[in-house]
Chain A
Amino acid sequence: MENIFLANAWLILALPFAAFLGIVAFTLGHKRLSGYLTIAGVGGAFLVSVGVLAAVTAGGSVHLSFPWYVLGETHFELGLLIDPLTAIMLIVVTGVSLVVQIYSQGYMHGDPGYSRYFAFMALFTTSMLGLVLAPNFLQLYIFWELVGLCSYLLIGFWYRKPEAAAAAKKAFITTRLGDLGLLIGILLLYWNTGTFSFGGIAQVIAGHTLPEGLITTAAVLVFCGAVGKSAQFPLHVWLPDAMEGPTPVSALIHAATMVAAGVYLVARVFEIFSASPTAMLVVAVIGAITAFLAASMGLVMTDIKRVMAYSTISQLGYMMLALGVGSYLGGVTHLANHAFFKALLFLGAGSVIHATGAQDMDEFSGLGSKMKITAGTLLVGSLSLAGIFPFSGFWSKDEILAGALQRTDNPLLVFLGLVGVLVAGMTAFYIARMWLRTFTGEFRTPAPAGAHGGGHGSHEGHGSVHESPWVMTVPLIALAIPALLSGLLGSDLTGQWYGHFLEGAEFHPESLNPLVAGGSTIVTLGGLFLAWATYSKKWISAPAVQRQFSGVHRWLVNKYYLDDLYLWLIRRVVIGGSDAFQWFDLHIVDGVVNGVGRTLAATGSALREFQTGRVQNYGLAFFGGVVIVVVFTVFLR
């Protein structure tokens, strides 16, 4: 291979993994060193990724596979696959990860599990990169599970908190439910195409030899995995709870990278989905439902991280909607843009939490004057999320809505596009609400430390709120730049670079659709205005609205009672069923076993009466026997 970066792309995986091993083996006792190791590993991976991106832009690619183990005709292979989609994902993952690691040095300062934290982060980065680089379903599934593991470990990082431990378990099991579908989809595809590799499967599908029903089934099953990982309805319930983890973890894993893996998966095997209109429709519908439900719940949350969490779910729904309506470009660019601005939003929220020791918006307000950098960068992130021109979110959101609204062949898809427009307004409202309630108004902080022990017990200076240290603010600024500018890559200004890069020859450049862009901007501004009117000017009384629609509000605050439904199902069906099994096992299965034993013992007891224990009786019987035998043999022959 000619290009030095492509030839050494394996370093992208190896460097963070080496950092993980190094921490586990040597530096568990040296906190600072552990942090530096992870930063060095991820930083190295970032540099190589930049080189890879440059090489891929120039037309390079990597397709590498080697057998892991082989059983006859079945090859279990691992390898590397680098194409434009991978290259962009590499930049997103390593870039966000690097920034988050630097930030974490400040956020996790003084935590007793500092080294463990950085070890897990390095492991997570490795796994995520392995997922992105996977050339086949086997490797994808392996790293898919491993990112799930890291998510489990990091959500439950403060394992002394029962909520954190429960949230970690919930996240793992919920996503595994989706993974079950993915696994079955993989098996179905393998038995019908004879290969795990993405390229091989795409080839078979392009050959039009498989029945469409089969492709639809397989695609929907694979999508199940994406539903779990990307927290789509109805498996989204784990993501809000996942906010129990440290905030940088939420930023990296539960906003920017891992949760986007589902979207990445659908994009990666887009050939399978696009071969089945039904499957595409499923993706679009689930995406739209998720986007709407999550946004509606985001409207009423008061925990700053939960607002972000529902926002993430909603935006992931957007991406799914994009892919479902066939707007591959919209989905992938939104994935990249979202990664940057959502990481920024989370890290900003982390900065607020770090400063105040609280994360409920009821407990603080008016922090803007004390935390200028945080407030400023968060504003950039919020506007980007809301989709205001020219922030990055605007471009990809517009791409998605245009993609959906242009699908006049199917009215349902157009309707979903309109839902998307509505969601854009809701998004603008809840993110503006978050920003206004946190940074404007009367200055208020929660009661000083002590009451807010929890996982943040190590944080200093709750009494006097001040801006976070530079290791935390510099990353915010670093993320604000792509949040502001990365959208331009897909715009007319750069000749729609994204489109050409991702779709190559198939790409047909399209200019901004003024109707869609204008319409969605109006809705967005409407949402912003409403929030401003409610929370800044108090023209509208939030409590009054809440009272007016108390029924709706209750549904929203209780997350549509989905969590309760699932809990009921687990209690009644899983645990109840298992209890029934237990009863059956003890009384029926083992009852039969013991019954057989008891029957034999009883028979033995009855027969024991013949055993007098007196040798002379036995001797008499023995002699009688001899007499009988002699009589028979001698006289009766």
Chain B
Amino acid sequence: MIFPYLSAIIFIPLVGAVAVAFLPQENRGIIRWVTAGFSFAALTVSLAVFAQFNLSSSSPQFVEKVPWIARFNIQYFVGVDGLSLPLVILTTLLTFLAVVGSWHIDNRAKEYNILLLVLETGILGVFTSLDLLLFFLFWEVELVPMYLLIGIWGGPRREYAAIKFVLYTLAGSAFMLVGILALYFTSNPRTFDMTQLAAASWALNFQMIVFALIFLAFAIKLPMFPFHTWLPDAHVEAPTAVSVLLAGVLLKMGGYGMIRVCFNILPDAAREYAPWLAAIAVINILYGAGLSMVQKDLKKLVAYSSISHMGYVLLGLAALNQVAVNGAVLQMFTHGAITGLLFFLVGAVYEKTHTREIAKMSGLAPRMPTLAALWVMAGLAALGLPGMAGFVAEYTVFVGAFGPWAWYTILGAAGIVVTAGYILWMIERVFFGPANPAQGLAHVGDAKRWYELVPLVTLMGVVLFVGINPSVVVNIINSGVLPVVARLGA
């Protein structure tokens, strides 16, 4: 029996959560180290999977398939391919960094760390499940810790934000469940197995309806205009590490689901809907960028920029060709790293200044040179500067999407100018210019503690590495995109 890598990745955090539950509440040091240890173990195993991943195979690898509820043909069926592996690594990495970045949280540290680990299990389950019901189960499991994390450790309007997040997602899930069941009851033999469902053929009308039902859940998660309003609220209220995970990986569950379920199983409907998706993608890009431009709250600015950046994912998907879909998946990965970094930076600045209001900050660069340098670099990464990961993804999306959707691509590309506008304007207002002595910011310091710097430096390293040597990630993604694109082109 070979080592069950994926089960190990999925359940190590859960075991960790149980272990932490038995630790004494007062001893926060041990709790943190144990949490960090378990999340690091998951990261290590996921990197081991990365090392052993076979690039030449386009079918799922590290498969574990055990009948679970045999009567309904429900299986415990997990596996990774090129689509999911980058996101699995992103999840384990960001969770580990989130644990490190939450070192300073003293309020109910034990529960906080337990919830982070449970959340990780839920997300990893979504990215590795190849059985639709299992996928749905993990999709729902992730909601509970997220609700509590926002609702307990959040800002002043945390309850509103948490409930809005959960209800919005659940509303989508309800439709998705109907869609999943529709697939189950029309398949022959009845199955939730995604690989078998993808191989089956469905009538176009049926595909259109089921696609819409399932897509809605993913559109809310992505988030796609006009289902995005939960995101700024959730982000603004959530604690830093939770925002990192929310933007870094939870949004990717939407994009991932679109490819894995909607495009892979219902390719004909995807072709029918593609023009609409491309149009909405452009709205996402420009609308999100415009909203970022006028935000007064640093964190809200970054939150709205996520909406804009996920528009590129949608645009890439709507193009349905190999280059663009690769770009879209790469954009999910790079956006996870870049936005994770940006949210860590927002948190770090907030820690020092105790405000997130852009107007109250000015000339911070001399006071916090390290943070300012990292902010500038992260901002440049977000606006798609070459040498950083974001450029590769966006450029690839544009190259792929220009063929089928020339005008939409042109409009989407205009988004990079607006993005440069709001990012540089924000950096100018926050970090440059004369220091503002009146605001009591005269004595703010730089980020110096290890648990502040480790997440920032690690993510910056990932962004630069992927930006300079994208083929490491692109080759993996491509192996997963190929079969989907083949189905879309058929």
C-alpha spacing A579/B428, complex, angstroms: 20
Contact A145 B326 (CB under 8 A): no
Q: Interface residues of B, CB < 8 Å — how many?
A: 56
Most buried by B among A69, A149, A160: A69
Interface: B7 (CB within 8 A): no
When distances are taken between beta carbons in the complex, the residues of chain B under 8 Å from A592 are: 226
When A71-B474, A160-B366, A183-B413 are in contact, do A579 and B323 touch as well, CB less than 8 Å? no
Interface check B437, CB cutoff 8 A? no
A146, A162, A166: the one contacting B387 at CB < 8 Å is A146
Q: Give A468 Cβ to nearest chain B Cβ, in Å.
A: 29
Our pick among B229, B396, B409 for the contact of A585 (Cβ within 8 Å) is B229
Interface code A66-80, partner B: CB below 8 Å = 1, 0 otherwise?
Answer: 011111101010000
A593 within 8 Å of B (CB atoms): yes
Chain-B contact segment, one of A49-57, A170-178, A324-332, A612-620: A170-178
Complex CA distance for A159 and B435, rounded to whole angstroms: 11
Q: Do A160 and B470 touch (CB < 8 A)? A: no
Q: What mask results when residues 117 to 151 of chain A are scored 1 for a CB within 8 Å of chain B, else 0?
A: 00000000000000000000010011101100100
- Select B293's contact among A68, A190, A574, beta carbons within 8 Å: A574
Contact A188 B432 (CB under 8 A): no
- Note all chain B residues with C-beta closer than 8 A to A187: 398-399, 402, 406, 409
With A71-B396, A173-B424, A582-B291: A160-B386 Cβ-Cβ less than 8 Å = no
Q: Which residue of B229, B406, B424, B427 is within 8 Å of A593 (Cβ)?
A: B229
Q: Which among B400, B413, B475 has the greatest number of chain A C-beta atoms within 10 A?
A: B413
Q: Say which one of B150-158, B415-423, B450-458 lies at the interface with A.
A: B415-423
Q: Does A156 contact B (CB under 8 A)?
A: yes
Number of A-B pairs, beta carbon distance below 8 Å: 134
User: Among the listed A138, A162, A574, A581, which residue makes an inter-chain contact with B434, where contact means beta carbons less than 8 Å apart?
Assistant: A162
Interface string of B342-369 (1 = CB under 8 A from A): 0000000000000000000001011000
* CA–CA, A543 and B486, complex, Å: 75
The CA-CA distance from A162 to B380 in the complex, in Å, is 20
Say yes or no: B417 contacts A180, CB within 8 Å.
Answer: yes
Q: Does A523 contact B (CB under 8 A)?
A: no
Q: Is B57 an interface residue (CB 8 A)?
A: no
Taking CB atoms, residues of chain B closer than 8 Å to A585 are 229, 287, 291
Check: B128 CB closer than 8 A to any chain A CB: no
Which residues does chain B contribute within 8 Å of A503, judged by CB atoms?
Answer: none
Contact of A69 among B287, B398, B474 (CB under 8 A): B474
A71–B414 contact, CB under 8 A?
A: no
CA–CA, A160 to B225, complex, Å? 39
A163-203 interface (Cβ within 8 A of B): 164-166, 168-169, 172-173, 176-177, 180, 183-184, 187-188, 190-191
Complex contacts, A74 vs chain B, CB 8 Å: 322-323, 399-400
B402 touches A191 (CB 8 A): yes
Q: Are A69 and B424 in contact (CB under 8 A)?
A: no
Chain B residue, CB-CB nearest to A586: B229
- In the complex, B431 has a CB within 8 A of chain A: yes
- The answer on a CB contact under 8 Å between A160 and B432 is yes
Interface size on A, residues (CB 8 A): 50
A461 close to B (CB within 8 Å) = no
Which of B387, B399, B420, B471 meets A190, CB within 8 Å?
B399
In the complex, chain B residues 380-404 whose Cβ is within 8 Å of any chain A Cβ: 380, 385-387, 391-392, 395-396, 398-400, 402-403
From A152, A161, A581, residue with most partner B Cβ within 10 Å: A581
Whether B465 sits at the interface, judged by CB under 8 Å, is no
Nearest CB in chain B to that of A169: its residue: B424
| B477 and chain A: residue at smallest CB distance | A71
Q: Specify which chain A residues have a CB less than 8 angstroms from the CB of B396 in the assembled complex.
A: 71, 76
Q: Is B18 an interface residue (CB 8 A)?
A: no
State how many angstroms separate the Cβ of B434 from the closest Cβ of chain A: 6
- Whole-angstrom distance between the alpha carbons of A70 and B402 in the complex? 18
When distances are taken between beta carbons in the complex, the residues of chain B under 8 Å from A593 are 164, 168, 229-230
- Cβ-neighbour of A145 out of B164, B386, B398 (below 8 A): B386
Chain B residue contacts of A172, Cβ below 8 A: 420, 424
**CB-based contact B475/A69 at 8 Å:** yes
**Separation of A176 and B435 alpha carbons in the complex (Å):** 28
In the assembled complex, B410 has its CB within 8 A of some CB on chain A: yes
Task: Pick the most buried of A68, A71, A590, A597: most chain B CB atoms within 10 A of its CB.
Answer: A71
Verify B417–A176 contact, CB threshold 8 A.
yes
Could you say which of B291, B420, B427, B432 contacts A578, with CB atoms under 8 Å apart? B291
Is B433 a contact of A162 with CB atoms below 8 Å? yes
Tell which of A145, A149, A173, A191 touches B403, judged by Cβ atoms closer than 8 Å: A191
Q: Indicate whether A72 sits within 8 Å of B322 (C-beta atoms), given known contacts A191-B403, A581-B290.
A: yes
Is there a chain A Cβ closer than 8 Å to B33's Cβ? Answer: no
- Most A CB contacts (10 A, CB to CB) among B386, B398, B433, B435 go to B386
Pairwise interchain contact A574-B168, C-beta atoms closer than 8 A: no
* CB < 8 Å neighbour of A581 from B229, B291, B478: B291
**CA A133 – CA B204 in complex, angstroms?**
51
- Chain A residues, Cβ within 8 Å of B385: 145-146, 149
Q: Does B294 contact A (CB under 8 A)?
A: yes
Asked whether A141 lies within 8 Å of B399 as measured between CB atoms, the reply is no
Q: Which of B326, B366, B427, B432 contacts A71 (CB 8 A)?
A: B326
**Does A552 sit within 8 A of B, measured CB to CB?**
no
**Alpha-carbon separation in the docked complex, A328 to B409 (Å):** 33
Contact of A169 with B471 at beta-carbon distance under 8 Å, contacts A191-B402, A578-B294, A582-B291 already known? no
Say yes or no: is B425 at the interface (Cβ < 8 Å to chain A).
yes
* B416 vs chain A, min Cβ distance (A): 7
Report Cα–Cα, A71/B321, bound state, in Å: 10
Which residues of chain A are near B225, meaning CB under 8 Å? 589
Which A residues are CB-close (under 8 A) to B380? 149
| A79–B409 CA distance with the chains assembled, in angstroms | 27
- A575 in the interface (beta carbon within 8 A): yes
Instruction: Return chain A residues, CB-CB under 8 Å to B434.
Output: 160, 162
Closest CB of chain A to B76's CB: distance in Å? 34
Verify B420–A581 contact, CB threshold 8 A.
no
Most buried by A among B363, B402, B432, B435: B432
The docked-state distance in angstroms from the alpha carbon of A166 to that of B429 is: 9
Decide: A68 and B470 in contact? CB cutoff 8 A.
Answer: yes
**B444 interface contact, C-beta 8 A:** no
Given contacts A149-B380, A162-B434, A176-B420, contact A590 B386 (CB under 8 A): no
Chain A minimum-CB-distance residue to B369: A116
| Chain B min CB distance to A569 (Å) | 12
Q: Is B167 an interface residue (CB 8 A)?
A: yes
Complex CA distance for A168 and B420, rounded to whole angstroms: 12
Q: How far is A543 from B417 in the complex, measured between Cα atoms in Å?
A: 43
A174 to chain B, nearest CB (A): 10
**Assembly CA distance A531 to B335 (angstroms):** 58
Complex Cα spacing A143 to B387, Å: 9
Q: How far is the CA of A173 from the CA of B287 in the complex (A)?
A: 19
* 1/0 contact string of A507-519 vs chain B (CB within 8 Å): 0000000000000
Instruction: Let me know if A169 and B323 touch, CB within 8 A.
Output: no
Apart from A165-B433, A169-B424, A188-B402, list 16 A-B contacts with CB within 8 A. Answer: A67-B471, A156-B432, A162-B432, A162-B433, A164-B432, A168-B424, A169-B428, A173-B421, A183-B416, A187-B406, A574-B293, A577-B290, A578-B293, A585-B287, A585-B291, A590-B229
User: What are the 8 closest A-B residue pairs judged by CB atoms, nearest first?
Assistant: A165-B432, A142-B386, A187-B402, A578-B290, A590-B229, A69-B471, A159-B432, A578-B293
Name 11 A/B residue pairs within 8 A (Cβ), A-sorted.
Answer: A69-B392, A74-B399, A160-B433, A160-B435, A168-B428, A176-B417, A188-B406, A574-B293, A581-B287, A589-B229, A593-B168
Interface residues of A (CB under 8 A from B): 67-72, 74, 76, 138, 141-143, 145-146, 149, 152, 156, 159-162, 164-166, 168-169, 172-173, 176-177, 180, 183-184, 187-188, 190-191, 574-575, 577-579, 581-582, 585, 589-590, 592-593, 597
Interface residues of chain B, those whose CB is within 8 Å of chain A, are 164, 167-168, 225-226, 228-230, 287, 290-291, 293-294, 322-323, 326, 363, 365-366, 380, 385-387, 391-392, 395-396, 398-400, 402-403, 406, 409-410, 413-414, 416-418, 420-421, 424-425, 427-428, 431-435, 470-471, 474-475, 478
